[in-house]
Amino acid sequence: MIAAANRISLILATTLALASCADPDAGAQWRHPMTAWGDPDLQGRWPIEHMNGTPIERPEALGERRFLTDEEFAERETRLAALNGRYDQEIATNKMGMGHWAELGLPNRLTSLVSEPANGRIPALTAEGQRRSAAMRSSGLSDKFDSVADFSAVDRCISRGLPASMFPFMYNNGIEIIQAPGYVVMRLELIHETRVIPVDGRPPLAPAVRQWLGEPRGRFEGFALVVETTNFNGQTPMIHGPPGYSALLPTSESMRIVERFTRTSDDTMEYEISIEDPEVLTQPWKAAYPWRRDPSYEMFEYACHEDNHTLRDFITTSRYERARQATR
């Protein structure tokens, strides 16, 4: 299994390393598939779990380097192989009898998913962004809970939001693209959301209409799908990552996101996302990474809902522990 993963990772790594100097005619023999109604065909299951071995933000020590050296890449391979080995050992010794749900990713040469700014890091927050960040709540940041307002939209299983929904996570990384005349639909496995993207040239919604995932409008530029999304409600974290990290990155109603989906072969796609939010960010930022199609990937139901009992348990336990401390 590990050997197969290494072969796949080597292909991905080579593709990434040569991307900036590739011959534009190298793929001349491949013809982009088209739908019956004439749009570029992007359909299929494109799970992004293979990018889990790559940090969203670049470690500061790597500066402006977009790719790992051979030595650094070998270290990443070793680290992920060791983690897979520990998981396999736990399964073999029946510590995890049903298997692991974590999707660990494959090693590749990208130093970060963030591609701009050049340092590969999300820009600093504005003063308003810092204020919003300080007011954000989540189960990963606090032990004081008195109402549902003390939990994030992710805790409450409402929405992972954007751009977070288009970044890899430790599980449920499936993204399925379905097309119909005038529409591109993206089914997200994590928190069971669906992005319905009109590509028929209709005008945007009125600014007063605000939604968890915003309101997208798509268009085709050549073979690339370009999606511009606005009308966000500003109530989701910008990135859903480890506790104490994602919940400190706020969004606002001013956020604007532009994505490009460019299929480069039957089973590969270049994905790029640009985020600007002048209320909370001092400058825009961009991320880019490859997707790969996997028809065998299983999309599982994400059995999570806003009214689950976990929130009540958090609140009840928090109140009990504080009352107990007060009587000591």
* Stretch 60-70: mean pLDDT: 96
User: In this predicted structure, what is the pLDDT of residue 326?
Assistant: 86
- What's the CATH code of the domain at 256? 2.40.128.20
Please give the residue that has the higher pLDDT: either 95 or 152.
152
Read off the pLDDT band of 260 (50, 70, 90): very high
Q: Is residue 74 part of a domain?
A: no
* Residue 80 confidence class, pLDDT cut points 50, 70, 90: confident
Q: Is 262 part of any domain?
A: yes
Lowest mean pLDDT among 3-12, 78-87, 225-234, 297-306: 3-12
Domain count, the chain: 1
Residue 198 lies in a domain: yes
Q: Which residue has the higher pLDDT, 118 or 87?
A: 118
Mean pLDDT taken over the chain? 86
Please state the rounded mean pLDDT for residues 75-93.
Answer: 84
pLDDT value for 142: 75
Q: Within a domain: residue 163? A: yes
Q: What is the pLDDT of residue 301?
A: 85
Domain assignment present for 60:
no
Q: Is residue 130 part of a domain?
A: yes
- Quote the pLDDT of residue 70: 95
Residue 71 inside a domain? The answer is no
Work out the average pLDDT over 48-67.
92
Q: Which pTM value belongs to this model? A: 0.85
Domain with 310 in it: 35-48+117-326
Reported as a pLDDT band with limits 50, 70 and 90, residue 242 is: low
Peptide bond into 163 cis (omega under 30): yes
243 lies in some domain = yes
pLDDT exceeds 50 at position 3: no
Mean pLDDT on 287-292: 97
Give the pLDDT score at 300. 87
Report the pLDDT averaged over residues 34-59: 94
